[in-house]
Structure 1
Amino acid sequence: MTTDVKNVDFKQLAVSGVQGLHPYQPGKPIDELARELGLDEKDIVKLASNENPTGPSDKALAAVQQQFAELTRYPDGAGFDLKATLCEVLGKEGCNIRAEQITLGNGSSDILDFITRVFVNDGDNVVVSQHAFSIYGLDAKMAGGEALVAPAKDFGHDLDAMLALINDKTRIVFITNPNNPTGTWLNKQELLSFLDQVPTQVLVLLDEAYFEYVAEADYPNGIELVNQYPNLVVTRTFSKAYGLASLRVGFGISSPELADLLNRVRPPFNVNAFALAAAQATLLDNDYLANSVALNNAGMAYLTGEFTRLGLSYIPSVGNFISVKMPAGIDALAVNRGLLQAGVIVRPLANYDMAEYLRISIGSEKENQVFIRALESVLAEQTAAQVNA
């Protein structure tokens, strides 16, 4: 029987959770902006995706180079060497973790997907915070579930409001510490008090993608708490402070029982050999991590100082990014367009209920300076247009 494809509504054939879904929109790539505006890629500054401006670790580059000789071979699907190194490094930090507690992912976003696929059915829900990473809600909807959104408090997680949303259909609570895109953070006592009150059958996913950048004395190390709270899963990534965003490798730490379930839905060979080798090498490169954090601290100090000079308010951040508010009457999207015309890519936050804000990744010294000059120019143009309107 011949089917007239033109009359087939494939959207209606899709699973219900996908039909109304809008895909995640990442930061605009450099080559895309170059094509759109006819710019030279080398003149474009990208400060939109919280990437590490340091460049990769030399040890990571050497490890990747060695993998080319085995290009015809599948990677180690269990990630034995990387897991062993993680246990070693985390152990030195006081975290008693065994290999069977680790789930490796193609980026830590893989772990977010796994936990939702394992535990969220049609009609279930997850609890998230306003202004939090949008992937959490997307994953829940793909599984046929619902995201219950707790209003933020001072742009951060209101844990009491999140607790109040938990009901008998709640399967997971997502917490980002520090939060993206606001850079706000929870201290250890706040987190412990929350974990003590969450029903034991409700999982807590603690996303620590920016863990390495935080120096606050009472900032909690979530991995230290995993053995104390069986319903806790902590995720981290090599995409940020470790500078391996293009290789996509992250991991989750949980109880062995939870890790076993997550690994059941993990695709075979989901982390490639180059990513495994580079992550292991960078994990042992203490100088690289220290230099990355130092560069970030210097860049954060520069940008906050310049925002103050320009009379712009911002949300204090402990990550490798900062969200800055546009002046009254100035359209943040118009400023974003002006920055794009100047070859500077940042992240507008209208889809995070923060329409007046732009999120800026901390770049190199030169990149930060280029951004500030462009921002100052665009704001002057927008202010003049406002006066003449």
Structure 2
Amino acid sequence: MGIEPRAGILDIRPYKPGSSEAPGIANPVKLSSNENALGCSPKAVDAMTAIAPKLHLYPDGGATKLREAIAEAEGLEAENIVCGTGSDELLQLLGRAYLNPGDKVVQSQYGFLVYRLVAMQCGAHFVSAPERDYRTDVDAILETAGDDTKIVFLANPNNPTGTYISDAEVRRLREGLPSSTLLVLDSAYAEFVSNADYSAGIELARERDDVIVTRTFSKIHGMAALRLGWAYGNKSIIDVLHRVRGPFNVNMAAIEAGTAAIRDRDFMKRSADHNEEWVAFLRQQIGGLGLEVTPSVCNFVLIHFPETAGKTAADADAYLSSKGLIIRAVDAYGLPNALRATVGTEDENRRLVAALSDFMKA
């Protein structure tokens, strides 16, 4: 008999990323992982290329240059920032630092799958609060959380629904939770949101010692391959995360590229403008085919399909794949009748709409 892992580990289903292959198609269009349709900043590419002769050197363990660049660009304090190998690592570090076996973790019903993984890795008890119209319900979270929850994870905006709640609602959530509960605001898609009532949560995290905000370079910055994220919070939380992270958890290429990317505000604006135009196009065009599309402020749309034989989400997924268009099944989120489609280039978006039109007519 082999060595047994800790109880509960073998119950974890490893995270399955969006597919990048369509059987029989040489160069499929990948719209399954919410990647930036415009790629990444050319300045980030140049910065990463420039460090090639230094690959034999260890990076700065504290990612000081990057933290200072983020602080300057976002109007923050560098000492209140910690960087990680994607925001995924930062979420896992929070679990490692604050969760004991048996602790209670709460998320919204269709929250990001990694929250469940974090809880299970730590032996914590994981509970989902029901949503209303695919949107976070603050009252439901408060009722579910009660007085004994250690962490509440809130993706705002949320993946895979694309919906968000206002800053006022986030603050109402925080006020309703006990001070012993850590509120983790996952704001991976914050840069795409232009709505006046939205906030990424930075000010709330600045005001309190029981809130932390995570951000990523994978979305609007288009640097998913380098795995880079950052978190902002009270120094007491940041100090804890520095103690549990690896000594060189952010590599040199990511530090240099991230520093260039966070300063390239023109690229960020072009990415946000492109997304605003084409997410509206997808919602309007796909909705016109008779399919329900959840209103999204992110760089993707959630498309709902009927249960009619031949017109289900699984049928649509197979049809689109046969046409070289890869989008994301979200049955793992409890949404078996929906598919999530990333905003692509103009050509990719038009191809997707045309293919869905053909599918619905068939």
Fold-level match, TM-score > 0.5? yes
Give the secondary-structure state (helix, strand or coil) at the position aligned to 1:74.
coil
User: For each residue in 1:15-63, what CA deviation from the matched residue of structure 2 results, as whole angstroms up to 9, or x when unmatched?
Assistant: 1131211111110024xx3xxx23212xx11111100010121111110
Alpha-carbon displacement from aligned partner over 1:247-291 (angstroms, at most 9, x marks no partner)? 110001111110111111111211111111111101111110011
The normalised TM-score by structure 2 is 0.97
Could you tell me which amino acid in structure 1 is paired with residue 95 of structure 2? Answer: T
- What is residue 74 of structure 2 aligned with on the other side? 90
One-letter amino acid of the counterpart of residue 123, structure 1: G
- Residue among 232, 235, 238 paired with 2:217: 238
Q: Residue 232 of structure 1: CA displacement?
A: 0.2
Query: Could you tell me which of 363, 374, 383 is aligned with 2:344?
Result: 363
Q: Which residue does 2:55 correspond to in 1?
A: 71
The DSSP-based 3-state class of the residue aligned with 1:205 is: strand
1:17 to 1, 5, 8: 8
Tell me if 1:337 matches 2:321.
no
Note the C-alpha offset of 1:349: 1.6
2:359 aligns with 378
After TM superposition, the structure 1 = structure 2 runs for residues 170-181 of structure 1, keeping only pairs within 5 Å, are 170-181=149-160
Q: Which runs of 5+ in 2 are unaligned?
A: none
Structure 1 contact 183–321 (Cα < 8 Å) conserved: yes
Query: SS state of the match for residue 260, structure 2?
Result: helix
User: 1:38 is matched with which residue?
Assistant: 24
Alignment match, 1:256: 235
Could you tell me which of 305, 326, 338 is aligned with 2:284?
A: 305
Contact persistence 2:286–2:356 (CA under 8 A): no
Alpha-carbon distance, 1:328 to partner: 4.6
> Which residue number in structure 2 is paired with residue 134 of structure 1?
113
Contact preservation (8 Å) 2:147, 2:177? no
User: 1:40 is aligned with what amino acid?
Assistant: A
Offset at 1:166? 2.0
- Cα gap change, 1:358/1:146 in structure 2, threshold over 3 Å: closer, same or farther? same
Alignment of 1:141-290 (within 5 A): 141-167=120-146, 169-290=148-269
Residue 271 (structure 2) aligns with: 292
Structure 1 range deviating more: 200-209 or 324-333? 324-333
Distance 1:122 1:326 in 2: 39
Higher-Rg structure is 1
1:308 deviates by 2.7
> Alpha-carbon deviation of 1:245?
0.6
Amino acid at match of 1:282: A
Q: For 1:52 and 1:243, locate their aligned partners in 2 and report how far apart those are by CA, in whole Å.
A: 5
Q: Are 1:299 and 1:362, in contact at CA under 8 Å, matched by a contact in 2?
A: yes
How far off its partner does 1:9 sit? Answer: 4.6
Q: 1:349 aligns with which of 314, 325, 330?
A: 330
**What is the DSSP-based 3-state SS (H/G/I as helix, E as strand, rest coil) of the residue aligned with 2:341?**
strand
What is the SS of the residue equivalent to 1:16?
coil
Residues 1:27 and 2:18 are matched in the alignment: yes
How far 1:339 sits from its partner (Å)? 1.1
Give the number of equivalent residue pairs. 360
Distance in 1 separating the partners of 2:343 and 2:106:
29
TM normalised by structure 1 equals 0.90
Q: Distance in 1 between matches of 2:291 and 2:55?
A: 50
User: Using the alignment, how far apart are the partners of 2:194 and 2:78 within structure 1?
Assistant: 27
> 1:81: Cα distance to partner?
0.6
Find out whether 1:117 has 2:101 as its counterpart: no
Letter of the 1:378 counterpart? F
